[in-house]
Every structure is written in structure tokens, then in C-alpha cells.
Amino acid sequence: KAGVTQTPRYLIKTRGQQVTLSCSPISGHRSVSWYQQTPGQGLQFLFEYFSETQRNKGNFPGRFSGRQFSNSRSEMNVSTLELGDSALYLCASSSGGGADGEAFFGQGTRLTVV
């Protein structure tokens, strides 16, 4: 069974640009969550999607957005990039979200904003 796949693995962008990150969950999983990991703030929750609906959102500015497709694949978009957006972005998938199903993480996308 394939794991959670995040693409691309590494990305370098310039301030002011926008970026789209992709996450393909484990087959059959309908919940996808996104987290931002930085040395200063640690791991912070961005948002969670289930069956194409956003169920929960963290405290991030509106520049951070996401969506989920009918095949459960998810994308997150960051517009007008700032230097502080440089981080490892992790995606996690689970069968139904919540604590009933284990969350499986991808290897992340390392975003560097210059």
C-alpha cells in the first residue's frame, strides 16, 4: 500500500510569488490535514479536509488556502509569499480524521522563500 505522497519535495520561491503544494493520501483515506513546521514555531496546524470539505482551520492568514478533490488528493496554496513562510509543510492522511484512525504523514515539502 503506497504511503502519503507529497510533491514537490523541495521548492525555492521568491517573495511575492505564490506556490501550490500537493498531497496524495493513502488509498481509501478521506481526511487530509496540513501542518507547517518551522524551527521557531514548531508544528502548527493549517487545515483539515474531509470529502472535499474543510472541517477545521488553524490560525493562519488568508494567504494560506487549500482544497481537496473528489479523489481525496489535496492541494494547499500560499499566495504573496513572505520570507517567514519558509518551512517544512507536512501532510497527513487518515481514514476519517479525528483520533479513531491513525494519521499517516508524508515526507513533507521543504519550501524556501528568498
> Which residues of the chain form contacts with other proteins (CB under 8 A)?
31, 33, 35, 42-45, 48, 50, 55-56, 58, 88, 90, 92, 97-99, 102-108
Nearer to other proteins, 13 or 104 (CB): 104
Smallest gap, in angstroms, from Cβ of residue 16 to other proteins?
27
Distance of alpha carbon 47 from alpha carbon 32, whole angstroms: 8
- Give me the least distance between CB of 45 and other proteins, in Å please: 4
109 phi, psi to nearest 5 deg: -115, 125
Q: How far is the CB of 108 from other proteins (least distance, A)?
A: 5
Which residues have a Cβ under 8 Å from the Cβ of 11 and sit 6 or more positions away? 19, 21, 109, 110, 111, 112
